Chain A
Amino acid sequence: MPLIDATGFKQNGFARMTEGCSLPAGDVILPLEKLSTWREEVFSRGDRVGVHLPNTARVDEVWPLLDDVALVSIDFPSFADGRGFSLARGLRQRGFFGVLRAFGPLIADQMRHALGCGFDEVETPEAVIVRQPISQWRAALETITLRYQRGAGNGLSILDRRRAAREMGHRRFHSGLALARE
């Protein structure tokens, strides 16, 4: 499936290990239940390990398994099921610094939700991209450039910008005072 990040299409460096198939070569995304069985073998080859989580996974339970895991892929069974957004934010808050990938039929309009919750990239079915070419994904991000929520995504929130403006104001005010005194 196509992989998209904030700038456009992206090369998918990981292969997924699917039900009933053998371990693929190279960097691999393992299903959660296969993680403990295969991770050492992947590491021993010198490849990177990713894990795919159902959106019912609990941060507390998976956290101890994520040592040295380079990528976490979170399942979105439908675009309207927002559990994955909370799971992603929970992992980021817990301190996961690897790559976070949303996996499922997300639409262009949800790129900002994904990025805002700490995802780096979205892997969505070809069928979605056929209807919503990459230009729409980019346009969606360029349309909504502001958000209120602090601590949700890159860049400054409106509340942070207001704070910065206040601080600028103080500084200007004080440097004004200093100038006046000179």
Chain B
Amino acid sequence: MYRYDEFDSRFVRERVREFRAQVERRLDGSLTEDEFKPLRLQNGLYLQLHAYMLRIAIPYGTLSSRQLRQLALIADRYDRGYGHFTTRQNLQFNWPKLKDVPDILDLLADVEMHAIQTSGNCIRNVTADHFAGVAADEVEDPRPTAELIRQWSSLHPEFSFLPRKFKIAVTGAEHDRAAIKAHDIGLRILRRPGTGEIGYEVIVGGGLGRTPMIGKVVREFLPRADLLSFLEAIMRVYNLEGRRDNKFKARVKILVHEIGAEEFRRRVEQEFAALDGPSVNADPEEVKRIAAYFAPPPYEELPERSVKLSIAKAAHRDFARFVETNVFAHRVPGYAAVTISLKPIGGVPGDATSEQMRIIAELAERYSFGEIRVTYMQNLVLPHVRNDELFALWEALDAAELATANASLVTDIISCPGLDYCSLATARSIPIAQSLSRRFADGARQREIGPLGIKISGCINACGHHHIGNIGILGLEKNGAEYYQLTLGGDATENAALGERLGPGLAAEEVPDAVEKIVNVYLQERSVGEEFIATYRRLGIAPFRQAFEKGVEGDQHAAH
């Protein structure tokens, strides 16, 4: 894991001190509310429905046990004993007081963490594949790249007052687990065909929100050394030319769409050519310095197969099921990555109590070199567990009610906070997630259905990624009544696709039945071993729509 050097440490302390003074200057009137707002947003502080919300960065989703314990302490001392993991590898506290925030930031700095640029019109927390360094299909660990970008983007003097927020994600694998095509910039590490040289495929202009778009490739191969100057070129074009007349058209995706990918690419290349690259780029030595922190932990040499694991699986059905769903193959023989689902049946997706955080921190120390990952699915991962120890880990998780065996299954639902917390929400989303989770609670049925991603947002801002859910659910409002719009066929992976609207809106109570009908069509129509999304691609939306319309026919509700 990356460790701060003296500069990084001083830097975050200075930022805390700056923010402390900004809070004071807001209170004494030096700063108007309008002036204070972007300053506090750039430090992750939102004004929510009931209180302030503080969003803490977990850069590229990597946490240490020590850091997780500190988050637990903050949850107890300054919040209501829990935190909420988001789809962008952040943690949100929903109840801090403004006056306490600087102290919370100091506690974060104590463990090399911060809330820098987790919101606001700037470059946001950089995300990466949560199986970085674990997955077998990886060309290179994406985290050194992400860490370099974290540093370069932090308090960037030129790019702190952009037209709109800007999100960057990095993957080093073939299979995209970081949704890079749904980001303002997505980077994929690859080898140049022929030479084997490592560089980046650069994708720009993806994004969700009210105008969802899949990103376009603007550079097929960018040499590693040019990364920062190329990013500066993209950012400069966007900062100068992105629309500022309409907040809903201000994301880079709209610029790319309006002038066309070709023209955008031309402008970026022109800017890039004019830049003095060597004065901006990081030295290769600096890149190496950062990469050294992500060297693999001291794995032991282990046999591929674990007899202990086989015996335990045979003896404990629940454990066997957990292994089936929540254990991911590790590139190193004898090890596995374990998903700790934060989606208990009927729970709030992504919430973790301070007690759970402490338990997970402890288990990570015992079984996973003290390392935890935060996934964009709002779950946690212990990335390096010995197969031999999976059973012991599972028993401990089970005792803490953290062994829900549903990773990637139909109850592994992504949901934004919705109307329960969010001031922008048009509808509730957490209760919808809960009712669906209860409807599909039966483990055997979930496994029969197989991987199926449901994603729910409480308004068109799409924090719950509904556009790229296999089944997407969007909460809206009309004449004071909430209603829900379903989309099918969204995909967050390398085959990124936006979902297609299924039909008219539904009342909250009708959502579980409608989802069940969709699932039943799939179960009837699928061929052997075919996942939901594949069946959908083969058949198109028609059969699903038919079943759906049969269901809502004759139903009279206010939602249309």
Query: Which chain A residues have a beta carbon within 8 Å of chain B's beta carbons?
Result: 79-83, 85-87, 89-90, 93-94, 107, 109, 112-117, 131-132, 136, 139-140, 143-153, 158-159, 161-163, 166
Contact = CB atoms under 8 A, between A and B. Distances in A.
Contact of B157 (A85, A107, A136): A85
6 contacts: A86-B240, A107-B31, A143-B14, A146-B10, A147-B155, A163-B286
Contacts of A87: 240
Give the most central of A93, A115, A151, A166: most B CB within 10 Å: A151
Contacts of B275: 93
Given A136-B30, A145-B14, A147-B155, A82 B7 contact: no
Contacts of A153: 157
B288 to A, nearest CB: 10
A132 B30 contact: yes
Contacts of A89: 158, 236
Main secondary structure on chain B at its contact with chain A? Answer: helix
A86 B237 CA distance: 9
A81 B244 contact: yes
Nearest to A136: B30
A41 B332 CA distance: 76
B239 A83 contact: yes
Nearest to A94: B274
B323 to A, nearest CB: 43
Given A80-B38, A83-B239, A109-B39, A151 B18 contact: no
Contact of A151 (B14, B39, B276): B276
A149 B283 contact: no
A144 B18 contact: yes
Contacts of A85: 157-161, 239
B281 interface: yes
Given A93-B275, A113-B161, A131 B29 contact: yes
B78 interface: no
A145 B154 CA distance: 13
Contacts of A113: 157-158, 160-161
Given A158-B7, A162-B5, A107 B283 contact: no
A152 B239 contact: no
A152 B30 contact: no
B281 A150 contact: yes
Given A82-B158, A150-B280, 10 more contacts: A81-B161, A83-B239, A85-B159, A86-B158, A86-B240, A114-B157, A144-B155, A145-B10, A152-B156, A162-B286
Contacts of A117: 157-158
B156 A149 contact: yes
B162 interface: yes
B236 A112 contact: no
A131 B31 contact: yes
Contact of A146 (B7, B162, B279): B7
Interface string B1-38: 00001011011001101100110010001111001001
A176 B151 CA distance: 33
Contacts of B217: none
Given A93-B274, A131-B29, A163-B285, A152 B22 contact: no
B89 interface: no
Interface in B104-134: 121
Given A87-B240, A93-B276, A107-B35, A152 B157 contact: yes
Contacts of B121: 80
A98 to B, nearest CB: 19
Interface in B224-276: 228, 236, 239-240, 244, 274-276
Contacts of A158: 7-8, 11, 151
